[in-house]
Amino acid sequence: MKMGISGFEPSFLTGVDTIRQAHGPRLAALTGRRLTRFALVRFAEDGDWYADCPVILDFDGVQLEVCHWKFDELSIGWETIDAAATITGWQCVELTPQWSHSDERLEPFVGQELCEVSLLERRPPGHGLAGGSVAVEFVFAHGCMRIVNGLDENRIEVGAAHPDYVRHRLGR
């Protein structure tokens, strides 16, 4: 599951309590920092986002790496991925993955100060395949965005969260 990404060593966790215990304090400590850059993997040939790869968010020099897998697994990493390195060992010869710093959903948040971080838990099983999955939400003065489980890949959402999520705010 390294995908040829330099430094990517995912540690997938399930359940909001487990994720909060492992990463809650560090996520909460991002509050007050500005989103200075982001990176995600796109294919050179067509510019399509490869949503299986981690999303990198940099908050004033603190690099956060978010990656969903399967229906309920989430890996949160800190300062391990080198987005300047070439992605190697790719198994599909027709497509060339590369790091991109362009995304219309994320660009409006660059330069904004992070006001709040929450873990969003999709209502428990029985509410579809995504039941129990955990998303990471970032609230800024001028909007919010989330990196959610898109059923075995990442998905970026902007605006109000779906009502099926239960919000778990992370405080300082």
CA–chain centroid gap for 134, Å, is 11
Strand, coil or helix: 108? helix
Residue-by-residue pLDDT tens, the chain, 172 positions: 567 898 999 999 999 999 999 999 999 999 999 999 999 999 999 999 999 999 999 999 999 999 999 989 999 999 999 999 999 877 666 888 999 999 999 999 999 999 999 999 988 655 555 667 999 999 999 999 999 999 889 999 999 998 889 999 997 5
Give the containing element (helix H, strand E) for 25.
helix 16-28
CB 100 within 8 A of CB 41: yes
Q: Which amino acid is at 7?
A: G
Rounded CA Rg of the chain = 15
What pLDDT score does 44 carry? 92
CA 162 – CA 28 distance, rounded (Å)? 22
- Extents of the domains making up the chain: 12-170
